[in-house]
Amino acid sequence: MSAADDTAIVDAAARGRPEDLPNPVPRPDGELERLEAAWAPPKGWRLISAVNNNFIGMYYIGTALLFFLLAGILALIMRTQLATPESTLVGHELYNQLFTMHGTIMMFLFAVPVVEAFAVILLPNLQAARDLPFPRLSAYAFWAYAAGGLAFFCSLFFQVAPKGGWFMYPPLTSYEYSPGINADFWLLGIGFIEISAIAGAVEIIVGVLRTRAPGQSLDRLPVYSWAMLVFALMIVFAFPAIILATLLLELERAFHWPFFVAAKGGDPLLWQHLFWFFGHPEVYVIFLPAAGMVSMIIPAMAQVPLQGYRLVVIALIGTGFLSFGLWVHHMFATGLPTISLGFFSAASMGVAIPSGIQVFSWIATIGVGKLQWKTPTYFVLGFLFIFIIGGLTGVMVAMVPFDWQVHDTYFVVAHFHYVLIGGMVFPLFAALYYWMPTMSRNPLSERVGKWVFWLMFTGVNVSFFTMHITGLMGMPRRVYTYLEEMGWGPLNMVSTIGAYMIAAGVLLFVIDLFRTYRFTFDDDAGDLWKAGTLEWLPAGTYQTRSVPIVTSREPLWDQPNLAEDVEAGRYYLPGTVTGGRETVVTSAVDARPQYILQMPGPSWPPVFAALFTAAFFLGLTVKLVGPAMACGVLAVACVIWWLWDTDPGPTHPPMDIGGGLRLPVYATGPVSHSWWAMVVLIMVGGALFTCLVFSYLFLWLVNPQSWPPAGVSLPALGWPVAAGALYLASSAAIVIGSRLLAHDRIWPVVLLLVLSVVLIVAGIGTAVHGETQSGLRPEAHSYGAIVYTVHAVQGFYVGTLVIMALYTIARALTGRLDRRRRATFDNTMLFWHYATVQGLIGLALVAGFPRLV
C-alpha cells in the first residue's frame, strides 16, 4: 500500500468520512459470529482457564481488593490495641506479626497487584487492542500471585507469620535472632510474588509499545499508558534488587553465608541499600499508575483535554528516573558520610519538581473546564488534598536534621500513610467509580459513593493527621503499647476513631459493590461521563468490533462518528482473518500496523504452572525439600506445555485487514513482540546482576585490607580464563547454528546446540572448580559468600539455558524449527549471548578485581 493511500484513510478517520474508511458496510453475513466464536469465554468452572484480559483483569482486581480488606482488618486490630494505654488485647508477639503483615500485604499484595490488574483490563481498551500480547503470561502472573499470596496470609493463623517489619532488617531477621520459619515466609513468599510482578511488567511494556490502535503514536498515547510504561520499566530496574536481597538473606539463613554478619565481614547496611533501592522506587511504582488514572479522570470530568500533556509525560518520565536517586533518604540515621546524605537529600527535594508539574497540570485542567460533581471527582479532589500534605511532609523529612528528629516515630507513619492513601488509594477509588461503567452492567451508586468518600476522607485525616502530633511528642512506631504517663492516650484514641471511620467507608463500598456490580463484557453501563478516550467505545470480549485509526489524543471528542463506524466494522480487522483470536501489532513510536499476532484461547497450563510454582516456594519455606523440587519440575513442565503451541510460524499468507492493507501473520527478529519481551527480560537480568556487582563492591569497601581475607588465596588465573573461553565458545557455536538455520540445515543446528550446552556447562564447572581448588568456603567470610553467589547466579542462567536449548532441540526434531519459523531459536540465542556477557563480567569481577586492588 502506498503512502498516499495511508494519508487518505487517516484523513477519512480524522474527518469521519465513512465511505473512505478501510472496510465497506454492510459486513458479510457470519463475520461477527465468527469473531464472537473465536473470543467466546469458557463456561462454568472452566472459567478458571480463561486468559482473556477482561476475565483475568477482574479476577486480579477482586483478589487485590480482598487483600486490601484483609490488611485493613489487621490495621483495625492494631488501632484497637493502641486506642488505650497498656491495653492487653494483643501481645507483643502477635502485634509484631500484625504490623509486618499489614505493611507487607498492603505494599506487595494489594498496591502493586491492583495497579497491574487495572492495566490488564484498561490498556487493551485504551489502545484498541484485542488483548495484551501475552494473555497466558497475565494468567500465570495472576494465579501465581493469588495462590502464593493467600498461602502467605494464612501463615498468620499458624503463628508463623513474619515479624521483622515490612523491610525485614537483618540482623534481627537473620538466623541468630529469627530462628523458625517466620522470616522464610516473607523471603520466599515475597521474592516469589515479585517474580509475578515482573511477569506483569514485561506484559505491560510490550503491550504499551506494540499493541496500539493504528495512528496512536507516542504523542497521542493516553497519559495512563505512558504512566504504565514508566511504571513497568521501574519494576524492571527496581524489583531485581529485592529479589537479590531476599536471595542473599535466605542464603544466609539457610546455609550461613554471612552477607550481613559484621563479625564475618558482612554488613547489615548492604540489606538496607538493596531493600531501599527497590523500596523507594516502589513508592513511585505505586504512585505513577494512580497519577496516570487521575490524568484520565480529570479531563473527562472537566470535559477538556489535559492541560500540558507533554509536560505531564515529561514529569512521569522524570519521576521514574529521579526516584532511583532517593533510596538513602530512608537511611539518614545509619551514619553514612554527610556528603552522601547531601546527594540524596538534594534528589529528594528535586523529585518534587516533576510531581509538582503534574499537580499544577491537574489544577489547570480543573480550572479550564467545568467539573461534573460526581463521586470520581470527589475522590480526585480528596487525593489532591491528602497527597499534597503527604508530599509536603515528605519534603520535611527529606531534610536530614529534621529526619533525625522524627526517624522511627509516628510522624513518619503519618507521612507515608498520607502519601500512600492520598497518592494511591484515593485515585484507585476514583478509578473504580470512574471505570466501573465499562466493566459492569450498573455503575456504583452515586449517593452511597458520596458517603463512602466523606467517611474515608474524614477518617484518613482524623486518623493520620493526629499521628503527626503523636510522633512529634515522641511516640515510636512499632510499639505494641505505651504507658499512660506518656500522654499519648487521647491522640491514639482519636486515631483509632478515624481508622474505624475509614473502615465504615470501605464497608459501605463493599456492600454497594455487591449490590450493583454485575460482570459483563458486552452490555456495560456505557459512557456516563462523555469521556474522549477509546475505552468508552462499545466493546465485546474481543474489545472493539473493528480496530480504529486514531488521529487525536481524545478520539471520541475529535473524530466524528468514531463509535458508530467502529461498531459497524468500517475500520480494520472487523472479523477474524485466521479464524482464531488475533490482534494487530504496531510499531513502537508511530503505531504503524506491522503484523497480525495470533493469540491463544482458554488455557490450563498457565494455571497449573502458577500453582506448581507457588507450591515449590511454599514447600521450600516449610522445609519440604523433596515435594518442593517435584513441584518445581512440574512447574517447568507446565511452562513447556504452554509454550509448545507458541511460535506457530507463517501458518497463513499475508492477510487483508481492510483498505488494501495486507499484514503478515507471523514475525521473527526485532520486529516481533517476542523479541521485545526477551529484551525486557534481559534488562531484568542485567538489573539483578548490577545489584550483585554493587553488593560485591560494597562488601569490598567495608573490608579494607582483607579482600580476600587473610588465609584465602585467589584461584590460579588459568581457571577463570578457561571458563571465559568456554563461555565465548558456546556463544560462537550458537552464532554458527543461526547461520546454518538460515539454510534449513536442521541436524547441524541440533548438534551445535548440544555442543553449546556442553561448552557452557563446562564453563561454569571450570569457574567453580577453580574456587574450590583454592579452598574458598562460602560460610567463612562475606568474601567467599559473595564470590560463590556470583557463580551461583551464573549457574542459574546456565541451568535455564540448558532447558531452553533442549526445548529448541525438541522443536527442531519435531519439525517446528526452520529458516522462517525461528522465533524460538532467536530468543534462545539472544538470552545465550546475554548469559555469556554476564558470565565474562562475573569472572572479571571475582578473579580480576582483587588482583587489581
Contact 549, 128 (CB under 8 A): no
Measured over the CA atoms of residue 123, residue 125, residue 127 and residue 128, the dihedral's sign is: positive
Residue whose CB is less far from other proteins, 287 or 464? 287
How far apart are alpha carbons 427 and 415 in whole angstroms? 18
How far apart are alpha carbons 6 and 540 in whole angstroms? 28
Residue whose CB is less far from other proteins, 103 or 593? 593
Shortest separation between residue 790's beta carbon and other proteins, angstroms: 19
* DSSP letters spanning 549-560: ---SSSHHHHST
Contact 194, 242 (CB under 8 A): yes
How far apart are alpha carbons 126 and 534 in whole angstroms? 5
Residue whose CB is less far from other proteins, 3 or 26? 3
How far apart are alpha carbons 12 and 597 in whole angstroms? 26
Residue 589, judged by CB atoms within 10 A of its CB (0-12, 13-18, 19+), counts as exposed
Residue whose CB is less far from other proteins, 85 or 325? 325
Cell readout for 17 is 468520512
Shortest separation between residue 415's beta carbon and other proteins, angstroms: 22
How far apart are alpha carbons 818 and 742 in whole angstroms? 8
What residues contact 420, with CB distance under 8 A and at least 6 apart?
A: 106, 111, 283, 286, 390
Shortest separation between residue 308's beta carbon and other proteins, angstroms: 11
Residue whose CB is less far from other proteins, 324 or 641? 324
What residues contact 293, with CB distance under 8 A and at least 6 apart?
A: 118, 224, 227, 427, 428, 430, 431, 434
Residue whose CB is less far from other proteins, 3 or 852? 3
Residue whose CB is less far from other proteins, 589 or 742? 589
Cell readout for 580 is 482464531
Shortest separation between residue 305's beta carbon and other proteins, angstroms: 15
Residue whose CB is less far from other proteins, 807 or 849? 849
How far apart are alpha carbons 139 and 130 in whole angstroms? 16
Shortest separation between residue 136's beta carbon and other proteins, angstroms: 23
Residue whose CB is less far from other proteins, 52 or 211? 211
Shortest separation between residue 148's beta carbon and other proteins, angstroms: 32
Residue whose CB is less far from other proteins, 89 or 349? 349
Measured over the CA atoms of residue 231, residue 233, residue 236 and residue 239, the dihedral's sign is: negative
How far apart are alpha carbons 537 and 545 in whole angstroms? 9
Residue whose CB is less far from other proteins, 223 or 475? 223
Shortest separation between residue 40's beta carbon and other proteins, angstroms: 33
Q: Which of 163, 171, 184 is nearest to 101 (CA)?
A: 163
Shortest separation between residue 650's beta carbon and other proteins, angstroms: 19
Residue whose CB is less far from other proteins, 667 or 729? 667
How far apart are alpha carbons 83 and 227 in whole angstroms? 39
Residue 483, judged by CB atoms within 10 A of its CB (0-12, 13-18, 19+), counts as exposed
Residue whose CB is less far from other proteins, 314 or 636? 314
How far apart are alpha carbons 801 and 780 in whole angstroms? 31
- For other proteins, the binding residues (CB under 8 A) are 3-4, 6-11, 209, 214-215, 217-220, 310-311, 313-314, 317-318, 321-322, 324-325, 337-343, 345-347, 349-350, 353-354, 587-592, 669-671, 675-676, 701-702, 704
Residue whose CB is less far from other proteins, 526 or 670? 670
Residue 13, judged by CB atoms within 10 A of its CB (0-12, 13-18, 19+), counts as buried
Residue whose CB is less far from other proteins, 9 or 759? 9
Q: Which of 281, 304, 323 is nearest to 366 (CA)?
A: 304
> Around Cβ 354, how many Cβ atoms within 10 Å?
23
Cell readout for 675 is 523479541
Shortest separation between residue 317's beta carbon and other proteins, angstroms: 6
Contact 779, 785 (CB under 8 A): yes
Q: Where are the alpha helices (DSSP H) in 559-604?
A: 562-568
Residue whose CB is less far from other proteins, 399 or 721? 399
* DSSP letters spanning 235-297: HHHHHHHHHHHHHHHHHHHHH---SS-GGGT--HHHHHHHHHHHHHHHHHHHHHHHHHHHHHH
**HEC readout, 336-361:** CCHHHHHHHHHHHHHCHHHHHHHHHH
Burial 256-287, CB ≥16 within 10 A → b, else e: bbbbbbeebbbbbbbbbbbbbbbbbbbbbbbb
How far apart are alpha carbons 128 and 534 in whole angstroms? 7
Shortest separation between residue 321's beta carbon and other proteins, angstroms: 4
* DSSP letters spanning 657-718: -STT-EE-S---GGGSHHHHHHHHHHHHHHHHHHHHHHHHHHHHHTSTT-SSPTT--PPPTH
Map grid coordinates 553467589 to a residue: 789
Shortest separation between residue 688's beta carbon and other proteins, angstroms: 17
Residue whose CB is less far from other proteins, 626 or 704? 704
Shortest separation between residue 78's beta carbon and other proteins, angstroms: 37
Measured over the CA atoms of residue 526, residue 532, residue 538 and residue 539, the dihedral's sign is: negative
Residue whose CB is less far from other proteins, 275 or 410? 275
Map grid coordinates 484461547 to a residue: 601
Name residue 586's beta-bridge partners. Answer: 593
